[in-house]
Structure formats: structure tokens, C-alpha cells
Amino acid sequence: MVQLIVSSRGSLPRWVLLELQGEVEARSGGALPGSLLGDLHYTRQGVPVLVVGHHVLYGKVVPLEKPFAVLVKEAAGPAEPHARYAVTALIKTKLLFKTRPKPIITNVPRKV
């Protein structure tokens, strides 16, 4: 049997899960970790709006059925035979973007 020791320290920050339909690819073909995906805004009605490049996505806030805990493995000493984990954040909601992105068109040339 594996025994895990989980602890938390004080008040935990609340994170939000971001769910996108489809794939996200970097324009340069490079790696995505550490890259800026886009800008997240909210309308006055609380609707999340994600701007990625020249596209805009409208989503909705969805509560999770079961919350997630973000765990970080702590260094175990030689006297501790079991792994120790610390809870660093809780995820209770997600932002769901399930529609296709809409292009942002700022300058439409007129026919002459």
C-alpha cells in the first residue's frame, strides 16, 4: 500500500481551468510552455472573452463537479519513508470555450 501525506498551508489561491476545443499550435512551430497564449477579459455580464492573435473566443464559466487540488511534491528526508505533497491551489471552476474562434477584422477596404 502506498501512503501519501498531503498538507496545506493557510489560505489557498483559487485557480481556474481553461478548456479549449481543438488544438493550439504556435505560429513559429516552437514549444508552447512558457509562451503567452492570449488575453483573457470578462464582459460586464461575466462572460469570459479570450483574444488569441487575430481571433476572439467567447466562453462561459462552469463549476466543476469535483474540484481539483494542485499538489507539489516536497523533498522527503531519509527518515521519511513516504512521499509528502503540499496543496498549493484549488480549482473549482473552469472557463469553457467550445465555439469556433471568430476573426477580428479591424479595417475592411471599401470597393471603389
Q: With a cut of 90, say whether residue 96 has pLDDT above it.
A: yes
Whether residue 82 contacts residue 4, with contact meaning beta carbons closer than 8 Å, is answered with: yes
44 lies in some domain: yes
Q: Among residues 93, 21, 97, which one has the least CA distance to residue 64?
A: 93
Query: How much is the mean pLDDT over the chain?
Result: 82
The 10s digit of each residue's pLDDT in 46-86 is: 999 999 888 899 999 999 999 998 888 887 667 777 778 88
Compute how many other C-beta atoms are within 10 angstroms of the C-beta atom of residue 57: 20
Q: How many Cα atoms are found within 13 Å in the side-chain-facing hemisphere of 58?
A: 7
Angle at 91 between CA 90 and CA 97, to 5 degrees: 165
Q: Are the CB atoms for 49 and 41 separated by under 8 Å?
A: yes
- The answer, yes or no, to whether residue 107 has pLDDT greater than 50, is yes
29: phi > 0 → left, psi -120 to 50 → alpha, else beta; which?
A: left
Whether 110 is covered by a domain: the verdict is no
Q: How many domains does the chain have?
A: 1
Residue range(s) defining the domain that contains residue 56 = 4-21+37-75+82-103
Using CA atoms, how far apart are residues 57 and 48, in angstroms rounded to an integer?
A: 8
Q: Does the residue 30 lie in any domain?
A: no
Residue 58 counted as domain residue: yes
Q: Is residue 32 a part of any domain in this protein?
A: no
pTM: 0.72
